[in-house]
Amino acid sequence: MDQFLITGSSRIAGEVTISGAKNAALPLLAAMILAETPTTLHNVPSLQDVRTLIELIGGMGINIQKQGDTVTCDTKSIDNFYAPYDLVKTMRASILVLGPLLARFGEAEVSLPGGCAIGSRPVDQHLKAFEAMGATITVENGYVIAQAPKGGKLLGCKFSFDMVTVGGTENVIMAAALAKGTTILGNCALEPEVVDLANMLVAMGAKISGIGTATMTIEGVERLHGCEYSVVPDRIETGSYLAGALMTRGDVLTKNTSALLLAPVLEKFEDMGAIITTGEDWIRAQMKGRPKSVDIRTQPHPGFPTDMQAQVMAIACLADGTSTFIENIFENRYMHVPELNRLGASIQVDGHTAVVKGVECFTAAPVMATDLRASMSLVMAVAAAEGESLIDRIYHIDRGYEHVEDKLRALGVNIERINSNN
Ligand code: EPZ
């Protein structure tokens, strides 16, 4: 299992170009299944999760290729509608192929994704919506077996999610795009990645109104054609690198991104004392002194994103004062806390609440990455710590941060990847 050896302390400063968003690329790749003619997708990041989903879609007999950051897909040769457990278990978002397969081909057999470190991650809302559209859903041996009503077409309906779900919203708008009739979908997620997917579906010929609002109306069409589309920049990657500046009195310029994608995060950065300047496709964070404490409650967009909670907590560990975090989205998203405490932080967790008493500095120590976003908070923390630190299980970070060592070195981090075969 690879490890990172990082020698601090570094002032995190420099320029990085932001990649396409992992959490947009994955639903966009799934949406390619819906197109009867070839589709081309640009700005697709080279990440383990993307490779896994491409392998899974290719396993259906679909001709899908990635050259550089461009993916081309031709669905003509599809010969099965099956998503196996051995791939789905490593990449939960594979469940997003269910809606497209069911909507276009009337059937699908997709492994249940199972949970992960941050929570049980159920998909009950996805399945409830498909049943409301007339599908027969059974779960056997860990697989979802889905059948469209006779005639092979899902039926448009009026449905509201019991809670805001990004994946649920994405799966259902993909399915509704080819349903017979109109679907009115309530309590939709508003994340930029959901908007990106809806915009690509429209480019493929879908009829969707209310994009970016909590109620979307999708008028089903007979068929969808291919298109050429580009993945939206990754707002969480952007925020993760900017956070490094706030931890080390640094100065980070992120290019090929947009402040509109992460306004709630930039507001908190300014509350913590950062000077944030922005342009059409760039954001700069400068930090002169010690961060100020902050209170964070994670919420669905446009609230503060749960995917930035660990990174901002790492900043709060060094703040002048006490910060409070309330994690409202996932039931177990404080796995980074014991690791940050190993680095000298002073964090107390009680259920969904974490109280962070600021300390002067981190001290180097070996730590372990536990999930994707926690791993980046640890990287920034050990980079800020005086001395050598080893981070174990960094396969987590490879799932979601493209060319992570190159980008960190460009920001002044002294980092080396160690291939350890234990
Ligand atoms: C997406 O996960 C993201 N992943 C997550 O990013 C992100 O944290 C999350 O949205 C919230 O913003 C991708 O887009 C690939 P949800 P998703 O459905 O769709 C509960 C990262 O680090 N729920 O919005 O799985 C669920 O348990 C990852 O990049 C149900 O109960 O999240 C959770 O508590 C981590 N039943 C809450 O809703 C359902 O059917 C939000 O989940 C669906 C969800």
Question: pLDDT tens digit string along 34-76?
Answer: 999 999 999 999 999 999 999 999 999 999 999 999 999 999 9
Q: What is the mean pLDDT of residues 171-180?
A: 98
Q: What is the CATH number of domain 2-19+233-419?
A: 3.65.10.10
- The confidence band for 116, taking pLDDT boundaries of 50, 70 and 90, is confident
Q: Read off φ and ψ for residue 203, nearest 5 degrees.
A: -65, -20
Q: What is the mean pLDDT of the chain?
A: 96
Least confident range from 25-29, 102-106, 116-120, 371-375: namely 116-120
Question: From the CA of 231, how far away is ligand 1's center (Å)?
Answer: 19
pLDDT of 158 higher than 70: yes
Question: According to the CATH classification, is domain 22-230 in 3.20.20.70?
Answer: no
Distance 121 CA to ligand 1 centre (A): 7
**114 pLDDT band (50/70/90 cuts)?**
confident
**Average pLDDT for 298-302:** 98
Closest ligand 1 atom, residue 121 Cα: 27
DSSP H helix total and E strand total for the chain: 14, 24
What is residue 165's three-state secondary structure? coil
The mean pLDDT of 190-206, rounded to a whole number, is: 98
Residue 161 neighbours by CB distance under 10 Å: 19
Q: Where are the domains of the chain?
A: 2-19+233-419, 22-230
Average pLDDT estimate for 300-315: 98
- The question of whether 116 is a catalytic residue gets the answer yes
Comparing CA positions, the residue from 155, 160, 178 lying closest to residue 103 is 178
pLDDT at residue 115 above 80?
no
Residue type, 24: A
pTM of the model: 0.97
From atom 37 of ligand 1, which residue's Cα is the shortest distance away? Answer: 329
pLDDT above 90 for 150: no
Residue 420 has pLDDT above 80, yes or no: no
Peptide bond into 9 cis (omega under 30): yes
- pLDDT-above-70 percentage for the chain: 99
**Highest-confidence segment of 88-92, 139-143, 336-340:** 336-340
Place 120 in a pLDDT band, splitting at 50, 70 and 90: confident
To test the pocket of ligand 1, the residue of 19, 23, 28, 128 to mutate (highest count of ligand atoms within 8 Å of its CB) is 23
Domains 2-19+233-419 and 22-230 share a fold: yes
Decide: 109 and 82 in contact? Cβ < 8 Å: yes
Residue 422 is predicted with a pLDDT of: 52
pLDDT number for residue 421: 67
**Token pair for 155:** 């039926």
Q: What is the pLDDT of residue 90?
A: 87
Is 209 a residue whose pLDDT tops 80?
A: yes
pLDDT the model gives residue 271: 98
Q: What would the DSSP string read from start to end of 91-123?
A: -GGGGGGHHHHHHHHSEEEEE----BTTB----
Quickly state the pLDDT bin for 266 (edges 50, 70, 90): very high
Of the listed ranges 108-117, 128-137, 255-264, the least confidently predicted one is 108-117
The Cα–Cα gap between 351 and 280 comes to 40
pLDDT at 119: 81
- Kindly report the protein residue whose alpha carbon is nearest to atom 42 of ligand 1: 165
Q: Looking at the predicted structure, is the pLDDT value of residue 326 above 70?
A: yes
The pLDDT assigned to 117 comes to 75
377 Cβ closer than 6 Å to some ligand 1 atom:
no
Q: Express each pLDDT in 232-242 by its tens digit.
A: 999 999 999 99
How far, in Å, from the CA of 166 to the mean position of ligand 1? 6
pLDDT at 213 over 80: yes
The residue contributing the CA closest to ligand 1 atom 14 is: 23
Look at residue 65 in the predicted model and tell me its pLDDT. 98
Pocket test for ligand 1, best of 121, 194, 240 (most atoms within 8 A of CB): 121
Tell me, what's the pLDDT at 1? Answer: 82
DSSP characters for 45-93? ---HHHHHHHHHHHTTT-EEEEETTEEEEEGGG----EE-HHHHTT-GG
Instruction: Give the confidence band of 336 by pLDDT, cuts at 50, 70, 90.
Output: very high
